[in-house]
A = this chain, B = another copy of it.
Amino acid sequence: MAQIIGGYFTSHVPGIGGAIVRGDQDTPYWKPFFDGFPPIREWLAEAKPDVAVVFSNDHGLNFFLDKMPTFAVGAAATYDNADEGWGLPVYKSFTGHPALSWHLIDALVRDEFDITTCQQMLVDHAVSIPFELAWPGAESWPIKLIPIAINTVQYPLPSPKRCLALGRAVNRALQSWGGTERILVCGTGGLSHQLDGPRAGFMNPEYDMFCLDNLAADPEALTGHSAEQVAELAGTQGVEILNWIAARGALGDLPLTQISRNYHIPISNTAAASLLLEAA
């Protein structure tokens, strides 16, 4: 039986990629953020997951406003990263797991999630930076990828409640998968930040703590807000917490142990965090 071994959550700010390129990990500015990762890397090296189901959002690399899906699930054999236009290195390609992808897609549509199925999909820094943070400098990614993209760009966004429900449906689907894979669930993005408008630079440490304190034990607490209220609380890009909420849902009802948690302000314009939850 396939096993969900835990959840890995992290900010995915492009600036992290720049810091890695420059080798800035131990500078006073970056160290407090990168300090969150050694325990995550150790745990991953020990736990040896086979496949990651990653909830993240596209930043205008793969999806445009001509066709903007609420939820998109990848079903490709390979996912490429690509030039996003502002100078990050192009990261290694990712190996998919089409059989498990299609199993998820079948189960999600049966569960009345109206997903968009993507047999071809570019993944951006929202996937590659979390992978690079987890497996820095790896020759090839040691784990397969199933990307699930949530619309955090164009309103209406799905509500936190709907995102948690999506995650839970993914959990049910993973539980009914007949394979023997060790499955890691990832949620990327956030925490509070806002890039646009007169409120640019806004953060909300109090709301971030509320999310970090409740995510594992009481994820429902995060679903009392509309997506618009989350934007008000967390900033216009802070709505990326939706990816964390969906990933939390995909961990299901297993008891969760917090292996690692880190929160630091500021990274770029962002309140940055990482979190590792082990499923028992």
Contacts and interface: CB of A to CB of B under 8 A. Distances in A.
Contact of A156 (B72, B105, B154): B105
Contacts of A22: none
A157 B70 CA distance: 17
A119 B65 contact: yes
Nearest to A117: B68
A15 interface: no
Q: Which of A66, A67, A159 has the most CB of B within 10 A?
A: A67
Q: Is the interface of A mostly helix, strand, loop or mixed?
A: loop
Contacts of A109: 70, 156-158
B70 A115 contact: yes
A118 interface: yes
B114 A70 contact: yes
A70 B117 CA distance: 8
Interface residues of A, number: 32
Nearest to A63: B67
A221 to B, nearest CB: 20
A271 B117 CA distance: 30
Contacts of A158: 109, 112, 114
A117 B162 contact: no
A162 B112 contact: yes
A163 to B, nearest CB: 10
Contact of A114 (B71, B105, B118, B120): B71
20 contacts: A63-B67, A65-B119, A65-B120, A66-B118, A66-B119, A66-B120, A66-B121, A67-B72, A67-B116, A68-B116, A69-B69, A69-B116, A70-B115, A106-B155, A109-B158, A110-B156, A112-B158, A114-B114, A114-B158, A114-B166
